[in-house]
Amino acid sequence: MSLAKIVETIKENQNFLLTAHINPDGDAIGAETALALALKQMGKNVVIVNKDETPEDYKFLPGSSEIKSPADIDCPNKEQDVLIVLDCGLFDRVGFLTPADFKLVINIDHHATNNAFGQLNYYRPEASSTSELVFELINELPVEITAPIATCIYTGLLTDTGSFHYDNTNVRSFEIAAQLLRYGAHPADIARSIYENTSFNRIRLMGEGLNTIEVFNGGTIGSLLITQDMLKRNQAKPYDTEDFVNFPRSIKGVFVAVFWRELDKDFYKISLRSKVNVDVAKVASKFGGGGHFHAAGAHLRGELSELKQKVVQEVSRALQELEKQGA
Ligand SMILES: [Mn+2]
């Protein structure tokens, strides 16, 4: 796809606005900060703006303190800006901004469900992370990869591969990791900043979440729920629930995990994770969502117990199909 065109466009333009998806994760923030540092090195004007705030875990990332919220940006000359959207399969995932307001939209992503919403698109579903794609892009730019840039990219790679645990971990991810170490990324420091820096509120919220774990379909589907009340009680933020889906996922015998987060009354966000050959992006698409083969999500409206039943039904069906295929 159009990596060369993107390189050319970056060289030819001066003003860039970078954004990523709502509830940004390590890959979203890592990709944005790495690219912003690279563009600044080229003397470009760069602003990063996200709908939601940066999770505490990623505030150590170089340049993350400069990430703006929609309220503090004022872009009167949007039509002169190139908008680079990172880690979003669909433009809607940005949660604000209108593509038509910008001179040009560049889409860099690794979601299988990407619909090529940009004028220029670079998406590769086989890539471990958007940060990996940003690394490829930066390699094509007249930019020196500094330790801060390497740190940002390594963070995206590390978090989107679940610390090199998930199916998207391969020779390439380790090769890139090795290169990033040579550029000055420090794995132990980065891991400490992300994984050993948990807030007390998050741990307490985790305790409540663990109490909600249920299994369905003979123990093959696991679920965990976080409600608005639980968040309030523990003074926790939505981003404090990141990776909670891994608790039901880690149960022996569970093939598919579902994390339920209440957004409002009778309105839920689900995150689906598959440990087997079940395409959860396909399951999520039945509910208007999308994502990757092994990790996907959707938004659902309705009464919780009814919704749970529907989701369990769809996942069970997908598991049955898998059984039929003898996989
Ligand atoms: Mn990603």
For residue 125, how far is its CA from the centre of ligand 1 (angstroms)?
A: 10
For residue 275, how far is its CA from the centre of ligand 1 (angstroms)?
A: 18
User: What is the rounded CA–CA span in Å between residue 11 and residue 78?
Assistant: 18
Residuewise pLDDT in 10s, the chain (327 residues): 589 999 999 999 999 999 999 999 999 999 999 999 999 999 999 999 999 999 988 999 999 999 999 988 765 557 679 999 999 999 999 999 999 999 999 999 999 889 999 999 999 999 999 999 999 999 999 999 999 999 999 999 999 999 999 889 999 999 999 999 999 999 999 999 999 989 999 999 999 999 999 999 999 999 999 999 999 999 999 989 988 999 999 999 999 999 999 999 999 999 999 999 999 999 999 999 998 899 999 999 999 999 999 999 999 999 999 888 865
* Residues 20 and 28 sit within 8 Å (Cβ to Cβ): yes
For residue 162, how far is its CA from the centre of ligand 1 (angstroms)?
A: 11
For residue 130, how far is its CA from the centre of ligand 1 (angstroms)?
A: 5
For residue 94, how far is its CA from the centre of ligand 1 (angstroms)?
A: 13
For residue 57, how far is its CA from the centre of ligand 1 (angstroms)?
A: 16
For residue 257, how far is its CA from the centre of ligand 1 (angstroms)?
A: 19
User: What is the rounded CA–CA span in Å between residue 32 and residue 289?
Assistant: 24
As to burial, measured by CB atoms within 10 angstroms (0-12 exposed, 13-18 middle, 19+ buried), residue 98 is: exposed
For residue 317, how far is its CA from the centre of ligand 1 (angstroms)?
A: 27
What is the reported pLDDT for 242?
A: 87
Residue 322: C-alpha distances to residues 155, 317, 325, 326 (Å): 34, 9, 5, 6
User: What is the rounded CA–CA span in Å between residue 102 and residue 16?
Assistant: 10
For residue 264, how far is its CA from the centre of ligand 1 (angstroms)?
A: 26
For residue 218, how far is its CA from the centre of ligand 1 (angstroms)?
A: 32
For residue 12, how far is its CA from the centre of ligand 1 (angstroms)?
A: 27
For residue 133, how far is its CA from the centre of ligand 1 (angstroms)?
A: 10
For residue 110, how far is its CA from the centre of ligand 1 (angstroms)?
A: 6
**β-bridge partners, 270:** 260, 298
For residue 211, how far is its CA from the centre of ligand 1 (angstroms)?
A: 29
What is the reported pLDDT for 325?
A: 81
Dmax (CA) of the chain:
58
For residue 28, how far is its CA from the centre of ligand 1 (angstroms)?
A: 6
For residue 291, how far is its CA from the centre of ligand 1 (angstroms)?
A: 10
For residue 132, how far is its CA from the centre of ligand 1 (angstroms)?
A: 9
For residue 134, how far is its CA from the centre of ligand 1 (angstroms)?
A: 11
For residue 89, how far is its CA from the centre of ligand 1 (angstroms)?
A: 10
Please provide the distance, in angstroms rounded to a whole number, between the alpha carbons at the two ends of the chain.
33
Q: Which domains does the chain have, with CATH numbers?
A: 3-195 (3.90.1640.10), 200-324 (3.10.310.30)
For residue 1, how far is its CA from the centre of ligand 1 (angstroms)?
A: 18
